[in-house]
Amino acid sequence: MSNVRLIARLDIKGQNLIKGIRFEGLRVLGDPQQVARRYYENGIDELIYIDTVASLYGRNCLYDIVEYSTNNIFIPFTVGGGLCSVNDVKKVLRAGAEKVAINTAAVRRPELIDEISKIFGSQCLVLSVQAKRRNNKSWEAFIENGREPTGLSVVEWVQKGEEMGAGEILLTSVDQDGTLNGFDVELIDAVVENVTIPVIACGGAGSPEDIIELVKKTNVDAVAMASLLHYNYFSIDEIRNDMSNHDIEVRSIENILYENTP
């Protein structure tokens, strides 16, 4: 097992950081720039910014936080929500994002995956999949922030995504999202075992134990956390130390000083 990446996921609506439960009952939690900065200074490995309403309105409002991050936050970050063309992707990458996440647009037009990966490389393309459990060990992919069913089987869809050039999968369990009740381990295992690209598990992380259990039971590459961090249930340090104590390799952040003014 190589280093498991710890990622903070920030869902953004307009100018606000928001978070709901199973994508509903969204609560406003503050200024995403301040929160992102705090996670960076506390040693998060990566950030994901998702514009939660962008695909409804057909535009992405994250340019402010992209610009802020490029100027102030020196770790990789992924931008998603409403990106639907090669041109949209180009703008975000040129503005400093390391990767883009695509869900709705890729379901509507899968060739977009191929187009983006051929031009910018697979490494920058994250296929975002919102999975709802249907029955025993079967999951359906949703778009428009868990609102619209697609009829696609999650496992078949991620395989197709990989084939078309996706470099990574951001796998969110809609059922577990915001519940803090732990990951849908079966879902994550089913996806990880059916693709060869890295998988980021998202939805349900409530404690370091949830993450440790997931990493021990599956070959997941990264975990994305939201409520767990947004509501300060655990610090990034606590999570990293607990994982390390369970022999899980994590990024070493000893002796690092995050200076504001160099």
Partner 1 sequence: MRIPHSKPTITIIDYGASNLISVARAFEHLGIQTQLSDSPYDITQATHLVLPGVGAFGKAMEALIKKKLVDPIREYCLKKRPFIGICLGMQIMLEFSMEFGDHKGLGLIAGKVVPIPKTGKDGKPHKIPNVGWRSLVQYSANRVWDNTILHDITLKSSVYFAHSFRIIAEKESDRLADSFYDGIDICSVIKSGNLYGCQFHPEKSGPVGLKILRNFCCLE
For partner 1, the closer CB: 3 or 138: 3
**24, 74, 237, 241: residue in contact with partner 1 (rule CB under 8 A):** 74
User: Exposed, middle or buried: residue 81 (CB in 10 Å: 0-12, 13-18, 19+)?
Assistant: buried
222 sits near partner 1 (criterion: CB under 8 A):
yes
**34, 94, 138, 217: residue in contact with partner 1 (rule CB under 8 A):** 94
* Torsion angle defined by CA atoms of residues 130, 173, 134 and 101, in that order, rounded to the nearest 10 degrees: 20
**29, 76, 181, 233: residue in contact with partner 1 (rule CB under 8 A):** 76
Joined together, the tokens standing for residue 46 give 């990566």
In the complex, the smallest distance separating the C-beta of residue 117 from partner 1, rounded to whole angstroms, is 10
257 sits near partner 1 (criterion: CB under 8 A):
yes
For partner 1, the closer CB: 167 or 203: 167
* Cα–Cα separations (whole angstroms), residue 25 to 76, 115, 135, 210: 29, 36, 25, 24
88 sits near partner 1 (criterion: CB under 8 A):
no
221 sits near partner 1 (criterion: CB under 8 A):
yes
In the complex, the smallest distance separating the C-beta of residue 22 from partner 1, rounded to whole angstroms, is 29
3-class SS of residue 161: helix
Q: Which residue has the tokens 């025993």?
A: 136
24: phi then psi, degrees, rounded to nearest 5: -125, 170
Please state whether beta strands 168-173 and 148-153 pair in parallel, antiparallel, or not at all (unpaired).
Answer: unpaired
Q: Which residue has the tokens 């610009």?
A: 67
**39, 40, 157, 183: residue in contact with partner 1 (rule CB under 8 A):** 40
As a whole number of Å, the CA-based R_g of the chain is 17
235 sits near partner 1 (criterion: CB under 8 A):
no
Q: Which residues are near partner 1 by CB under 8 A? A: 2-3, 5, 40, 43, 45, 70-72, 74-76, 93-96, 98, 120-124, 167-168, 196-198, 221-222, 251-259, 262
